[in-house]
Amino acid sequence: MKIKRILISQPQPTTEKSPYFEVADKYKVQLDFFQFIRVEGVSSKDFRASRVNILEYTAVIFNSRTAIDHFFRICEELRVQVPDTMKYFCTSESIAVYLQKYIVYRKRKIFYGQKTMEDLVDILVKHKEEKYLVPTSTVHNDEIPALLKQYNLTFMKAFFYKTLSSELSHLNLKDFDMLVFYSPAGIDSLFTNFPNFVQDETFIGTFGPNTAKAGEKAGLRIDLKVPSPEFPSMTMALDKFIGELCKKSGK
């Protein structure tokens, strides 16, 4: 079976030099981008009702730019003056640099890992006296809380934003030969919008182990799991996957 059209459950890249477009051009495949999930901030009223006092914590752990945006939004709405002594721990350098949008970067204590939460563990343990606040979504995996518990670190998980399913009724999934997902919430959105979805010959690609697990739990056959040692990115994996299918079809 030759792949002609793929639905990518993410926003369309803003640059024409994206590897996605290189793959599409190489194999003459049509790529459609549509975000399966949307983010909505928790209201200051609801956050106040959770009785989380931000100033009780000495450090914040961020694993996304979205978490940063909504942390500082809530602080502004509640007129919370974040002290200069607050420490920030981020799962990657790019997330840490994003903090410049809200704070004077060089004057704050900022720490970051290479890419994952596991990379950050050694740094967190060196600061085990801190009281950590973990801003997160109402839909999330418990990787961060599990690791903090494992190392006996003091922390509080708090909901700063909601992850909701997008409205997808305008899509006809039969038009696509492959669907690509990047989060468990994307899998949930698929079945929220199409509760009677049957995979049949449609290929499914997933990024991240939690996304693959969510897909398998929902009864999907996962044809492409990323990342892997050979293919750390989805575009690299798609290049290989589509190429192999082309060879099999003799095209």
209-218 pLDDT tens trace? 889 999 999 9
State the residue range of the domain holding 121: 41-163
> What global pTM score does this model have?
0.77
Q: What pLDDT does 89 receive?
A: 94
Which residues are paired to 136 by β-bridges? 159
45 and 102 co-located in one domain:
yes
17 and 62 co-located in one domain:
no
Is position 201 within any domain?
A: no
CA 189 to chain centre: 14
46 and 159 co-located in one domain:
yes
Q: Given a cut of 80, is residue 193 above it in pLDDT?
A: yes
DSSP class of residue 231? -
The rounded distance, in Å, linking the Cα atoms of 171 and 199 is: 15
Two structure tokens written together for 168: 């997808």
Mean pLDDT of 194-209: 95
Is position 215 within any domain?
A: no
Is position 216 within any domain?
A: no
Q: What pLDDT does 107 receive?
A: 63
Q: Is the dihedral of CA 93, 7, 142, 66 positive or negative?
A: positive
Q: What is the pLDDT of residues 70-120, one digit of tens each?
A: 999 999 999 999 999 999 999 888 899 999 999 886 666 999 887 667 778
Q: What pLDDT does 14 receive?
A: 85
Two structure tokens written together for 27: 């194999």
Number of domains in the chain: 2
Q: What is the pLDDT of residues 31-49, one digit of tens each?
A: 999 999 999 999 999 999 9
Q: What pLDDT does 75 receive?
A: 97
The rounded distance, in Å, linking the Cα atoms of 33 and 189 is: 15
Mean pLDDT of 50-72: 95
56 and 148 co-located in one domain:
yes
Q: What are phi and psi of 236, to 5 degrees?
A: -65, -45
Is position 80 within any domain?
A: yes
Higher-pLDDT residue of 91, 198: 198
98 and 173 co-located in one domain:
no
Is position 229 within any domain?
A: no
